[in-house]
């Protein structure tokens, strides 16, 4: 593995070596390197490489170039001389948030010649097309893939999004170009629903504040045996209205019911599993009757800015707003005004309209507004599921049986 100054990881430096005299020579070189002052782990890796090269194994095999310390990958093409196959080039444009070092890219490495960048650009930039180059498979999370980028990179065959949301990809133009766009639809049900309840509980109890207050000495110097700096809220018997009652919304509904809350739901596609958890109602009824309004819907042109001045006016005075779905679902200035006026008692937000958050975002100075840096999705368990499903998305695409396609039949 080579780490470039720009945070680039390069795998697959020798992706298509035939089982010829050149390969036999590498086998001899690998054997010669075995035991020459390397660690036990390195020696084992080199020995495995030698044996696998000699056998013409079809798997991706690690080897070590002792001369310059670079690690690369060899993918032999069948036993004996065999027919050389094409190797797909795969580029990851913003891999750091998915894998800051606690996961492995090995599943993707096994599928082609892999290049990983920690980050590229979160706004339109020529650097995006430059880094894609002649790669056939593009893996990204929040790096935009525009019409201009696709036109500049004619080799693209697949765009694999390391997330559920894919609004940063011009997926309709990709369809016109014959490029499949796939996503990861089910990785974060547990973590995201858990986090939305965590935001709600923080609003109800201000645990972080009171812990900091105790550590600052306020309890030790208090004349009473206990104290609280904010009103504390009990949730049992209160109503939560969940907008977007798919997997995550229903998981949140299960948790809310376990705490004794009544669950109302609004969704354009009601289903039987949802009816076992809560009561489907129209949007106006949900807004009017809910003590807590929680958002778990996909972002569409129809619901962008859903929580605006008009709809906030329909909500209960002193309602609580939770949003760890998409920042664009709310009009930030309208929510800030409602918080400052007391119309909304509090808001717990894990997403904002522009990320990273802008210093002039009105929510930063609004009353009773908790904001966290888009981390609902980020437990290691969730990110491992993203890695696994993304690798499978690419694997079945290469096998001609794509899954999790978001842009329909290609034209």
What pLDDT digit, counting tens, does each position of 184-239 carry? 998 999 999 999 999 999 999 999 999 999 999 999 999 999 999 999 999 999 99
- The pLDDT > 90 percentage for the chain reads 76
The reported pLDDT for the residue numbered 41 is 38
Please tell me the chain's helix, strand, coil percentages from 3-state DSSP, rounded to the nearest 5.
35, 15, 50
Contact 114, 139 (CB under 8 A): no
Q: What is the pTM of this model?
A: 0.79
Torsion 191-270-170-303 (CA) sign: negative
DSSP 329: G
Active-site residue, from 75, 131, 247, 374: 374
Active-site residue, from 326, 332, 383, 385: 326
The predicted model gives 137-159 an average pLDDT of 98
Question: Each residue of 342-388: pLDDT tens digit?
Answer: 999 999 999 999 999 999 999 999 999 999 999 999 999 999 999 99
Could you tell me which of 102, 100, 96 has the C-alpha nearest to residue 122?
Answer: 96
Asked if the model's pLDDT at residue 81 lies above 50, the reply is no
The reported pLDDT for the residue numbered 408 is 83
Task: List CB contacts of 134: < 8 A, sequence separation 6 or more.
Answer: 89, 153, 155
Question: Each residue of 89-129: pLDDT tens digit?
Answer: 999 999 999 999 999 999 999 999 999 999 999 999 999 99
Asked if the model's pLDDT at residue 36 lies above 90, the reply is no
Q: What tokens does 199 get?
A: 């935001």
Contact 90, 115 (CB under 8 A): yes
Q: Is 374 a catalytic residue?
A: yes
> Angle 207-215/189-205 helices, nearest 10 degrees?
60
Q: Is 254 a catalytic residue?
A: no
Q: Is 28 a catalytic residue?
A: no
Active-site residue, from 85, 355, 358, 381: 355
3-state secondary structure of 325: coil
């Amino acid at each position: 593995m080579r780490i470039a100054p720009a945070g680039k990881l390069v795998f697959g430096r020798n992706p298509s070596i035939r089982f010829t005299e050149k390969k036999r020579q590498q086998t001899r070189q690998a054997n010669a390197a075995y035991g020459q002052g390397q660690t036990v782990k390195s020696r084992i890796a080199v020995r495995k490489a030698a044996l696998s090269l000699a056998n013409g194994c079809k798997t991706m095999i690690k080897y070590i170039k002792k001369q310059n310390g670079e690690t690369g990958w060899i993918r032999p093409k069948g036993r004996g001389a065999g027919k050389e196959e094409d190797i797909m080039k795969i580029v990851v444009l913003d891999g750091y948030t998915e894998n800051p070092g606690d996961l492995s890219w090995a599943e993707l490495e096994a599928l082609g010649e892999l290049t990983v960048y920690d980050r590229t650009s979160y706004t339109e930039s020529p650097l995006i097309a430059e880094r894609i180059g002649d790669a056939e498979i593009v893996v990204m999370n929040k790096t935009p893939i525009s019409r201009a980028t696709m036109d500049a990179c004619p080799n693209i065959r697949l765009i694999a999004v390391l997330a559920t949301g894919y609004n940063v990809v011009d997926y309709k133009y990709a369809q016109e170009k014959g490029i499949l766009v796939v996503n990861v639809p089910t990785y974060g049900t547990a973590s995201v629903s858990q986090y939305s309840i965590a935001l709600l509980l923080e609003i109800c109890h201000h645990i972080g504040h009171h812990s900091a207050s105790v550590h600052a000495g306020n309890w030790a110097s208090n004349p009473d045996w206990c104290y609280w700096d904010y009103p504390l809220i009990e949730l049992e018997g209160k109503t939560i209205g969940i907008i977007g009652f798919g997997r995550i919304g229903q998981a949140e509904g299960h948790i809310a019911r376990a705490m004794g809350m009544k669950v109302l739901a609004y969704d354009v596609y009601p289903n039987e599993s949802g009816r076992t958890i809560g009561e489907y109602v129209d949007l106006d009824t949900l807004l009017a009757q809910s003590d807590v309004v929680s958002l778990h819907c996909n972002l569409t042109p129809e619901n962008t800015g859903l929580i605006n001045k008009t709809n906030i006016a329909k909500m209960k005075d002193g309602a609580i707003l939770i949003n760890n779905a998409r920042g664009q679902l709310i009009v930030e200035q309208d929510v800030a005004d409602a918080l400052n006026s007391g119309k909304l008692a509090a808001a717990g937000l894990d997403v904002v309209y522009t990320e990273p958050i802008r210093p002039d975002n009105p929510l930063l100075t609004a009353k009773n507004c908790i904001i966290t840096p888009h981390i609902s999705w980020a437990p290691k368990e969730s990110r491992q599921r993203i890695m696994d499903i993304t690798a499978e998305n690419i694997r079945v695409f290469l096998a001609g049986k794509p899954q999790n396609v978001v842009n329909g039949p290609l034209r």
